[in-house]
Structure 1
Amino acid sequence: MKVLIIEDEALAAERLGKLLYEYNPAIQVLAVLSSVEAAVKWLQEHDLPDLLLLDIHLSDGLCFDIFKQVRVKCPVIFTTAYDQYALEAFQVHSIDYLLKPVQFSKLVQSLDKMQEIRHTLGPTQAEIPINEVVQMIRPKEGSYKSRFLVKMGAKIKAIKTADIAYFFSSNKLTLLVTRENQKFPVDYALDDLIQLLDPSQFFHINRKLIISFDAAKEIHPYFKGRLKLVLHPPLDEEIVISSEKTPAFKSWLDQ
């Protein structure tokens, strides 16, 4: 089986590759791509793989933009942090999904399902009803979170999303940091949060940080095509944007 991995988090992509090898050492990973742009270019220039492993959030946008530019008729397994009950409706034909973090047992089930599809229908017989999928798992307009509940001692307070500077993950704890530099723990992983936040207002910098548009105080060129970022309120940690994410970050700032 030939597999194309489209995933913008290097550690997640590496894990998928290891899990695929554990499932079957004969599986060939054709490429690992991190952006919509790279995926479209690859799919336009190559034959379709036997399977796509596709993250929903990529470095330059949502994966659905890929399907607007190229036709995909091979089985696809999405990786997502969305609750499984919201996704059961599209678990048909050549579509499946894996909840993050991807577990080997779940991957085995999905791969077995894809193998059965290839053997019974052929690898490209049924085109993915992608428009239906988009409607089911793309957040509806106006559905992004407008506030978060946090604890202040014995009290509970609602923090407006507009008042949030960034979310920072450290030592298995996710902190919400307000523009006034108040810090509150929240019960969300960053992968979950980014899907609840308006992408025009928040950007997933790396596996530890999501920032709001106004939190970027200073941006400096850095080595090897990277950017160094200074936040307000300040964060006591060097923030470097990878060269892979730099184009998407600049586009986000310039929208």
Structure 2
Amino acid sequence: MNVVILEDESLAAEKLAKMLLTYDSQITVTATLTSVEEAVEWLQANPSPDLLLVDIHLDDGLSFEIFQQVKLHCPVIFTTAYDQYAIRAFQVHSIDYLLKPLQYDKLAQSLDKLKALQASFQETTPQLNLEEVVKLLKADQTTYKTRFLVKAGNRIRAVKTTEIAYIYADQKLNLLVTHDGHKYPLDYSLDDLNLMLDPQFFFRVNRQLITHIDSAVEIHPYFKGRLKLELQPPLDMDVIISSERTPLFKAWLDK
């Protein structure tokens, strides 16, 4: 079995590779990748491995961004120190979600599960149908949020996600801005919001801002490979996209 490891901590990657060889000495670690950008480039340029072992937090962002750029053809096991991403993990071809510090017996159970499913399908069909395997392994899928309850003076109103232009951090406050320019405070962190919002329509531009695709009206070259983003309605601050996130943003915007 050919396995690709996505892990930005070298010691953790080495430990994981040793665990794989302990489980099966015939396993080959084809590549060890440390960033979203590196993973996208590798997966686009190489044949799909038999399995991806993926940490969620990589050098340049969340690994979920990889699956927005590359059509996945293999199962995934997520390994992470954070348990709040489990639902989103099962929305890609994930067969398991293992919390760090990783334990060998948990990894072995996940690999046993994959082998059992593969063997089961191979007995009944000429080729393994990955989509059918994933259907059996997935948890019930949860849809993304469609509205938020917000305070509007002494009232509470529901704002549909289709009304959201962008959400940005203003000092210690996160503000939801609608397409018609109204602002409402939100109690959620931007990290949480990034998981709640459909990535087809929303993109985490930087640490301060998440934008809807219809609000990103213009992009301009900036210093050192970065981009400057113009929003509608206008925001009274410079919105800069890092050089690392620029390719991801352009690909998302050009869907």
TM > 0.5 fold call: yes
Q: 1:59 to 1:231 in 2, by over 3 A?
A: farther
Asked if the contact 2:69/2:248 (under 8 Å) is kept, the reply is no
Which protein shows a greater Rg? 2
Counterparts of 1:150 and 1:184, CA distance in 2: 6
Cα deviation code 1:61-91 (max 9, x no counterpart): 178x43x2xx35x854266634x6x69x9xx
Counterparts of 2:175 and 2:145, CA distance in 1: 16
Show the counterpart of 1:58. 65
2:146 aligned with 1:146, yes or no? yes
Counterparts of 2:32 and 2:175, CA distance in 1: 38
Asked if the contact 2:147/2:158 (under 8 Å) is kept, the reply is yes
Counterparts of 2:55 and 2:40, CA distance in 1: 16
Identify unmatched segments of 5+ residues in structure 2: 20-30, 57-61, 119-129
**Cα offset, 1:133, TM superposition:** 4.8
Counterparts of 2:54 and 2:66, CA distance in 1: 17
**Cα offset, 1:119, TM superposition:** 9.5
Show the counterpart of 1:30. 32
After superposition, residues 38-53 of structure 1 pair within 5 angstroms as 38=41, 40-41=43-44, 44=47, 51-53=53-55
Asked if the contact 2:36/2:63 (under 8 Å) is kept, the reply is no
Counterparts of 1:3 and 1:156, CA distance in 2: 48
Asked if the contact 1:148/1:158 (under 8 Å) is kept, the reply is yes
CA RMSD of aligned residues (A): 4.3
Counterparts of 2:169 and 2:220, CA distance in 1: 23
**Cα offset, 1:204, TM superposition:** 1.6
Q: 1:253 to 1:41 in 2, by over 3 A?
A: closer
Cα deviation code 1:95-146 (max 9, x no counterpart): 224xxxxxxxx522xx01x455449978x85669544455645x4xxx3333
Show the counterpart of 1:236. 236
Q: 1:203 to 1:44 in 2, by over 3 A?
A: same
**Cα offset, 1:94, TM superposition:** 7.0
Counterparts of 2:254 and 2:196, CA distance in 1: 22
Show the counterpart of 2:121. none
Return the letter of the residue paired with 1:40.
L
State percent identity of aligned pairs: 36
After superposition, residues 111-130 of structure 1 pair within 5 angstroms as 111-112=102-103, 114=104, 117-118=107-108, 129-130=133-134
Pick from 77, 86, 98 the counterpart of residue 79 of structure 2.
77
Counterparts of 1:119 and 1:164, CA distance in 2: 42
What TM-score do you get using the length of structure 1 for normalisation?
0.63
Pick from 107, 115, 119 the counterpart of residue 100 of structure 2.
107
Q: 1:248 to 1:132 in 2, by over 3 A?
A: farther
Return the letter of the residue paired with 1:61.
Q
Q: 1:214 to 1:43 in 2, by over 3 A?
A: same
What TM-score do you get using the length of structure 2 for normalisation?
0.63
Q: 1:228 to 1:180 in 2, by over 3 A?
A: same
Show the counterpart of 1:181. 181
Counterparts of 1:120 and 1:180, CA distance in 2: 48
Return the letter of the residue paired with 1:37.
V
Asked if the contact 2:163/2:178 (under 8 Å) is kept, the reply is yes
**Cα offset, 1:156, TM superposition:** 0.5
SS in 2 for 1:61: helix
Q: 1:211 to 1:53 in 2, by over 3 A?
A: same
